[in-house]
């Protein structure tokens, strides 16, 4: 009888231990699920991979934070202004710059119109350069499938839709490369001097009649509520942090790519680099000077950085043909 009681007691203890283990295991499983859900909810975007979590982007961004656009409240340091004014030998002083920016935001939105990061959204961008490599690429549908499509300076659409797409949400320009925009396209100004900021104001109001190194349109057709002015500190950031001060200053195309890294969760890049013979030319022009390189811009170094970004899967780069 004692032996039976001992066996029953052992069975009871074993059952209790087994039951406890099962309950504990379930609790661990539930806790694991909760943690996974928590992590998912805390993701900065809904993409499979968020750009803000990318290691290479963080190395260049976290320790060198800069706001991509000027706002009514933004401040440019005197150090950053000193770098910016040397791009085109600006003669205006720091106080003139600040007064000009203040006047701008009496006309244009105090905050730029663009989507901020959200766990429920995946902001995808196409950055469309002007390289001849776009010809016969048939990238048009892929370019247009992204949420934001940024085109640069004179990049043409009409007649090239199959290769470059037809959608434009943002057009990057400076006064010498300005063009007419429809009412839904953002005008994204890269200013290289105080006169460029003055041009933006006057081109929308009274007309601009100043002089520059090239002809400048007196007026511009665009939606003033969609105007965005790139922060000169971002231009310096592209040159000092990303390009390690190579060249006099970055190309507008490269700076646009760095801008996109701040605006988007996933960046698709098209139309950058020389052709297979090493010539730099545009898809909408016939190359006349095969000795042309990239002027003051470190074109080949910029391309090397783009390739590195692509190889580390920070961006998706489409080389063309």
The set of catalytic residues is: 249, 297
Calpha distance 148→146 (Å, rounded):
6
Is 29 annotated in a binding site? The answer is no
45-72 burial, b at 16+ Cβ within 10 Å, e below that, comes to bebeebbbebebbeebbeeeebebbbbe
247 is in an annotated binding site: no
User: Is 92 within any annotated ligand binding site?
Assistant: no
> Is 89 labelled as part of a ligand binding site?
yes
Is 140 one of the annotated binding-site residues?
A: no
Minimal CA–CA distance to 69: which of 111, 125, 128? 111
User: Which residue, among 169, 151, 175, has the nearest Cα to 226 in the 3D structure?
Assistant: 169
Residue 311 assigned as binding residue: no
State yes or no: 183 annotated in a binding site. Answer: no
For 29-77, the DSSP string reads HHHHHHHHHHHHHH-SSSSSS-GGG-HHHHHHHGGG---SB--TT----
The answer to whether the annotation marks 213 as part of a ligand binding site is yes
To the question of whether residue 282 is assigned a binding role by annotation, the answer is yes
Category of 243 on φ-ψ map: left (φ > 0), alpha (ψ -120 to 50) or beta: alpha
Q: Binding site residues for substrate, as ranges?
A: 89, 130, 153, 213, 249, 253, 273, 282, 297
Q: Binding site residues, as ranges?
A: 89, 130, 153, 213, 249, 253, 273, 282, 297
């Amino acid at each position: 009888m004692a032996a039976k009681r001992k066996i029953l007691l052992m069975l009871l203890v074993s059952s209790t231990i087994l039951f406890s283990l099962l309950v504990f295991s379930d609790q661990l499983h539930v806790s694991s699920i909760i943690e996974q859900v928590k992590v998912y909810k805390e993701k900065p975007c809904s993409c499979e991979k968020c750009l803000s979590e990318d290691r290479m982007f963080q190395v260049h961004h976290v320790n060198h934070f800069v706001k991509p656009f000027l706002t009514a409240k933004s401040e440019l340091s005197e150090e950053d202004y000193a770098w910016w004014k040397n791009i085109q030998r600006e003669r205006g002083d720091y106080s003139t710059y600040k007064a000009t920016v203040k006047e701008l935001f009496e006309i244009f939105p105090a905050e730029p119109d663009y989507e901020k990061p959200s766990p429920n959204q995946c902001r995808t961008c196409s950055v469309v350069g002007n390289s001849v490599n776009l010809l016969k690429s048939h990238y048009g549908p892929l370019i247009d499938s992204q949420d934001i499509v940024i085109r640069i300076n004179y990049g043409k659409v009409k007649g090239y839709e199959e290769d470059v797409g037809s959608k434009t949400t943002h057009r990057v320009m400076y006064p010498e490369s300005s063009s007419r925009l429809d009412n839904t396209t953002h005008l994204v100004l890269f200013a290289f001097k105080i006169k460029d900021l003055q041009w933006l104001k006057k081109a929308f109001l009274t007309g601009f009649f100043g002089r520059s190194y090239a002809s400048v349109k007196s007026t511009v057709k665009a939606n003033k509520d969609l105007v965005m002015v790139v922060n000169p500190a971002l231009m310096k950031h592209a040159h000092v942090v990303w390009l390690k001060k190579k060249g006099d200053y970055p190309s507008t195309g490269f700076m646009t790519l760095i801008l996109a890294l701040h605006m988007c969760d996933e960046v698709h890049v098209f139309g950058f680099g020389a052709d297979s013979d090493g010539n730099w030319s545009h898809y909408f022009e016939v190359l006349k000077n095969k000795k042309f390189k990239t002027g003051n811009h470190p074109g080949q170094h910029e391309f090397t950085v783009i390739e590195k970004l692509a190889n580390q899967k920070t961006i998706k780069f489409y080389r063309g043909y």
